[in-house]
Structure 1
């Protein structure tokens, strides 16, 4: 809801600060007083084109600031401005400001942070609808007609959305499976060959390290064989070192009792024999461990090199070859079972499509029924608004399958025929601005303001009508204003009398300076203004009495 508007240096408005109430607000004044300036100023904050001609003569810059209470549409506003990195404190109003330089440059701000004019238009569409001769937003935009009809008819869009989501997921699963099978079929020969090769080779985890260690040991044994043989020959045999030690120990054993030093020498020699025997055992085991078998070495090296070559071929580590074999076997198994799996997925996709089709068909029937009720409701509003020759129709027609969505299978558009026998056409084809506004009002009343902005502005909705029609317009505006803030630029006293807030737009001149001003009217001021609207420049007692009667009726 628009709560305040501050204007500086816009055409004839030098400085103006206005506050707005909820409900129905009316703006009146003599022709040429500047009502359009007020709407142009508000339009700037809603993203309208920045025209440097709006800057007051002699001034370098103009500015307009609008304040909105967004409690009724906070979530949508926060989501929209959040995309621009703008934060809004809960409960705080939304402040939109636009500056315009005389050279044509402009800047826009939301809550003090700069934004583009496009962002202003997106935000403005949620906040305000302006209906006049050249309006192409709000109810005139066919893009929103389906949502409005669904809200009016309380159509079960949620069920269709859920069914569409299930169908979409089933199709995606089927498409992914088809892609996998196609790719896998292309790889079948390669997989079969690779699996045969790996199965024949039969790699084992940790095999590379085992083979490398065995190869290194054999290579080391080849280098040490001669030395080991020489050392073994020195120790072994009847003439070897150990035999000589034992022979010396036997001879010393015969003479050891003759002297204590000889006994000690014998003990040392016995120990030497024991140590030498242990050394002989170690040499034997080392010789066995480092045994060099050229055939065995060649076999180990061949296996090791083939293992590493396979790993390079498949771009994995040697220890991963066994897992790769299992993975390839599983993939080949999926190929074999792929056709059967596709059949199941195709059945699931068909079932999901059928479920969506049933839900969407039910929604189409709901929309058709709702369209008939809406057509009747709008028709009931047309005659009192002097549109009795006009006809309204809600078009519900099927979309092609490629256009189906979570919103169903229908296109919805509001159409009118303004004269008997004339074909139905979109609302935007209406030539008369006043007629268009009355049509919008009839539709708004019939829809009970489903899904619209929280502030609606009607520019001269009563153009070309008076009397009972003007009264009917005023009554419907007042009814609509019970749930929505309405601002109406009017020349009709019947409409003005319905306003809860009355703003008078007046132009004055001092010397060569002309200014437009806007001021709220109290009860006495309202009576005088409505009397002026009834009688013209010379306000008569009868005009005041009639103004009193109009005010009393509401």
Structure 2
């Protein structure tokens, strides 16, 4: 639930900090005092687009900070862990709105995107504005509300998954059907593969080919270099490095007794002699393998030329010809199997459609059960809200089942009859704003009772009602407050009297600027505020007595 909300330089609020507890908290004040600013602040903390007009005049930025207790919301705790925002069970949302139109957001002190802010806030708080009932006029919203009420997400996920599978198979079939006669493509691929398969395209084979070609191309120079090196190392013609090294070691050994360090030099020269011997042996092997072979060079040159020709033809490097060959082979196999695959696809499509039908039927049955429960609950509520004899129905209308629909096999239509004896009509055709407001509130109260969101915010959803109906609305909101935290901005004393706590928003002109302040009311102040709401500017004894009676009649 929401524990604390802090505002700074937000609209006409210089600074304010509010603490909230469980149950129902009401917020009241004179018209224009800024009662809905608290709701606006929560909206921005829930990811609404930044509005530079909400920055207090003369300030550079507005700062909003909300602290929640997520302990009763496992989904929020899991989200914090998955997104790496978890901080020992804490949950704070912070956002700044700059006067230049920019904004920044943080979750538990770490920078966050507006999308992340909206995702987390959606698990913690749900805001219902005084014009929100307009959304209920859309059929898509009505179906979504019914599914939320019935907790149909598992069934709906199954319907979406099977519909997606069907669509994927249908696209594959259409793609295969569009290919038409592929015999020419098969012939071309067969020819290309035959050319490629005649060559050894393994990378190591190509490297060996290039090295052999280079060796044959420079065979004469390599032979001369090897002969010269061998003669210089240990040849019989003239002085050699090996004999010269032996002479040097002999001369030093005669003086070894006079200078012990010469022993270290002799050891080094001995190692050098061993290295020279090994070099001579390796050089001899290389020389023995070298041979000027024009026929071999011609064969290597022809093979390398074919590889370069294939590389130019397929526009790839020689080392990539093997991958090109594999691609051609895969495409050829797919084309050869296209007819078989096309014939089998229809059976898979039919089976997929059958799976969707089964999932859609299960969802449809769940929706029918939920529709009956929501209809009964809302009908009972609208009767209590001054529409005796009124009826609310959730009608399920089948849609064309020609193809699997990810939303299921039906759509929902909310119907209402405001008076006994009148046939129910679509909610969107209810002419009276007051009736629409009451029906919408009844739907919200009936549906939200099972919502997992811990904090519900109502911004003057009681607009257009009064008297005994207003008192019943207050009672329903108070009852909802027993199951979750309820924040309610209201202008009705009958609703305000039902709150477990009461905040007053007031405004005053100071230094030529309008400023709003928010403060909690004690029992005496609360009675005075209710009297003002009842009696207007001049608060009479009768208004105070009526306010006292309202408070006294509040029961859980």
Could you say which TM-score interval applies, normalised by the shorter chain? 0.5 to 0.7
Cα-to-partner distance string for 1:409-459 (whole Å, 9 max, x where unaligned): 4444546576857952549x8773x65553333112322444574332223
Q: 2:408 maps to which residue?
A: 408
Counterpart secondary structure, 1:28: strand
Which residue of the other structure, out of 66, 89, 105, is the alignment partner of 1:109?
A: 105
Aligned length: 471
Q: 1:515 to 1:398 in 2, by over 3 A?
A: same
CA distance in 2, matches of 1:440, 1:413: 14
In the TM superposition, residue 486 of structure 1 has moved relative to its aligned partner by: 1.2
Q: 2:3 maps to which residue?
A: 3
Q: 2:94 maps to which residue?
A: 96
In the TM superposition, residue 18 of structure 1 has moved relative to its aligned partner by: 0.6
Q: 1:332 to 1:367 in 2, by over 3 A?
A: same
Q: 1:342 maps to which residue?
A: 342
Q: TM-score, normalised by structure 2?
A: 0.65
Q: TM-score, normalised by structure 1?
A: 0.66
CA distance in 2, matches of 1:89, 1:185: 64
CA distance in 1, matches of 2:322, 2:20: 78
Cα-to-partner distance string for 1:491-524 (whole Å, 9 max, x where unaligned): 3343223212222334456797764332223344
Task: Tell whether the 8 Å contact from 2:415 to 2:424 is kept in structure 1 after alignment.
Answer: no
Task: Tell whether the 8 Å contact from 1:129 to 1:137 is kept in structure 2 after alignment.
Answer: no
Which residue of the other structure, out of 105, 124, 132, is the alignment partner of 1:135?
A: 132
In the TM superposition, residue 94 of structure 1 has moved relative to its aligned partner by: 2.1
CA distance in 2, matches of 1:373, 1:446: 9
Task: Tell whether the 8 Å contact from 1:4 to 1:18 is kept in structure 2 after alignment.
Answer: yes
Task: Tell whether the 8 Å contact from 1:474 to 1:494 is kept in structure 2 after alignment.
Answer: yes
Q: 1:539 maps to which residue?
A: 541
Task: Tell whether the 8 Å contact from 1:8 to 1:15 is kept in structure 2 after alignment.
Answer: yes
Q: 2:242 maps to which residue?
A: none
In the TM superposition, residue 382 of structure 1 has moved relative to its aligned partner by: 1.1
In the TM superposition, residue 384 of structure 1 has moved relative to its aligned partner by: 1.3
Q: 1:124 to 1:191 in 2, by over 3 A?
A: closer
Q: 1:306 to 1:398 in 2, by over 3 A?
A: farther
Work out whether 1:374 is the aligned partner of 2:387: no
Q: 2:146 maps to which residue?
A: 149
Residues 449-488 of structure 1 aligned to structure 2 (within 5 Å):
449-451=449-451, 453-488=453-488
Q: 1:37 to 1:176 in 2, by over 3 A?
A: closer
Q: 2:223 maps to which residue?
A: none
CA distance in 2, matches of 1:9, 1:65: 12
Task: Tell whether the 8 Å contact from 1:52 to 1:100 is kept in structure 2 after alignment.
Answer: yes
Q: Unaligned 5+ residue runs, structure 1? A: 221-289
CA distance in 2, matches of 1:322, 1:38: 67
Task: Tell whether the 8 Å contact from 1:77 to 1:123 is kept in structure 2 after alignment.
Answer: no
What RMSD, in angstroms, separates the aligned Cα atoms of the two structures?
Answer: 5.1
Task: Tell whether the 8 Å contact from 1:532 to 1:539 is kept in structure 2 after alignment.
Answer: no
Counterpart secondary structure, 2:458: strand
Counterpart secondary structure, 1:87: coil
From the CA coordinates, give the structure whose radius of gyration is larger. Answer: 1
Q: 1:431 to 1:37 in 2, by over 3 A?
A: farther
Task: Tell whether the 8 Å contact from 1:310 to 1:318 is kept in structure 2 after alignment.
Answer: no
Q: 1:253 maps to which residue?
A: none
Q: 2:23 maps to which residue?
A: 23
Q: 1:413 to 1:113 in 2, by over 3 A?
A: farther
Counterpart secondary structure, 1:477: helix
Counterpart secondary structure, 1:517: strand
CA distance in 2, matches of 1:385, 1:145: 21
In the TM superposition, residue 25 of structure 1 has moved relative to its aligned partner by: 0.9
Task: Tell whether the 8 Å contact from 1:3 to 1:69 is kept in structure 2 after alignment.
Answer: yes
CA distance in 2, matches of 1:421, 1:17: 50
Task: Tell whether the 8 Å contact from 1:131 to 1:437 is kept in structure 2 after alignment.
Answer: no
In the TM superposition, residue 28 of structure 1 has moved relative to its aligned partner by: 2.7
Q: 1:438 to 1:66 in 2, by over 3 A?
A: farther
In the TM superposition, residue 16 of structure 1 has moved relative to its aligned partner by: 1.7
In the TM superposition, residue 369 of structure 1 has moved relative to its aligned partner by: 4.2
In the TM superposition, residue 348 of structure 1 has moved relative to its aligned partner by: 1.9
Task: Tell whether the 8 Å contact from 2:34 to 2:506 is kept in structure 1 after alignment.
Answer: yes
Work out whether 1:160 is the aligned partner of 2:159: yes
In the TM superposition, residue 43 of structure 1 has moved relative to its aligned partner by: 3.9
CA distance in 2, matches of 1:488, 1:527: 18
Q: 1:305 to 1:506 in 2, by over 3 A?
A: closer
